Amino acid sequence: MPVIGSPDIVDVHLSSRLNLLGVLECASRVLCERLEFDADTSDQVILAVVEAGTNAIIHGHGRDPGKIVDVRFESWPDRIEITVQDRGRGFDPAAVGTDIITEDRFLAQKGRGIFIMRACMDQVDFRIDANGTCCRLVKRRAASAAGAEPASGTEAPRPG
């Protein structure tokens, strides 16, 4: 029996092959269902996880199937946290533009991934070091679904 406050953990290790991204999609969907995320929230998590996996495979590993992408899913009572780790040389997240609808970028075929992840998730962080790039994605459950108290400054509904 898990200790209260400890997450359920699922680790996935993928060869850097784009045709394996469906594994991340399936794992994401199952864990979102367990957390009782609604369909829209589940789709956001899935999209962000697949995008992070795609970035690791293409940009981190150059599609080298001999290199492994490590993905960890942590299901907490109030959120899901996903880390996607590659062994690539990394990048400067600050150098990636956040405005994808400028005239020079609007029709570009790439450069939307980080924007999409940030739009879909509550938190997106990158850690780049000698071991590669680690992308951390966090999506919180709605307060009512997590059994959490209302946020400060709000009142709970009163029985009618």
Q: Which pairing describes strands 79-85 and 8-15: parallel, antiparallel, or unpaired?
A: unpaired
pLDDT value for 105 = 56
pLDDT value for 155 = 40
85 half-sphere exposure, CB direction, 13 A CA radius: 13
Contacts of 88 (CB under 8 A, 6+ apart): 56, 59, 60, 61, 62, 132, 133
Domains in the chain (CATH in brackets) are 8-146 (3.30.565.10)
pLDDT value for 90 = 80
Rounded CA gap, 157 and 13, in Å? Answer: 45
pLDDT value for 135 = 97
- pLDDT (tens digit per residue) in 45-75: 999 999 999 999 999 999 999 999 999 999 9
Q: Describe the chain by its helix, strand, coil percentages, rounded to 5.
A: 35, 25, 40
56 secondary structure, DSSP code: I
67 secondary structure, DSSP code: S
Strand partners, 79: 76, 140
Q: What is the mean pLDDT of residues 19-30?
A: 97
Does residue 11 carry a pLDDT above 70? yes
Rounded CA gap, 143 and 49, in Å? Answer: 23
- pLDDT (tens digit per residue) in 79-134: 999 999 999 988 777 766 566 566 665 555 556 788 889 999 999 999 999 999 99
Please indicate, yes or no, whether the overall pTM of this predicted structure exceeds 0.85. no
H/E stretch holding 27 reads helix 21-34
pLDDT value for 46 = 98
Rounded CA gap, 103 and 47, in Å? Answer: 25
H/E stretch holding 115 reads helix 113-120
Backbone phi and psi for residue 129, each to the nearest 5 degrees, phi listed first: -150, -165
pLDDT value for 142 = 83
pLDDT value for 153 = 37
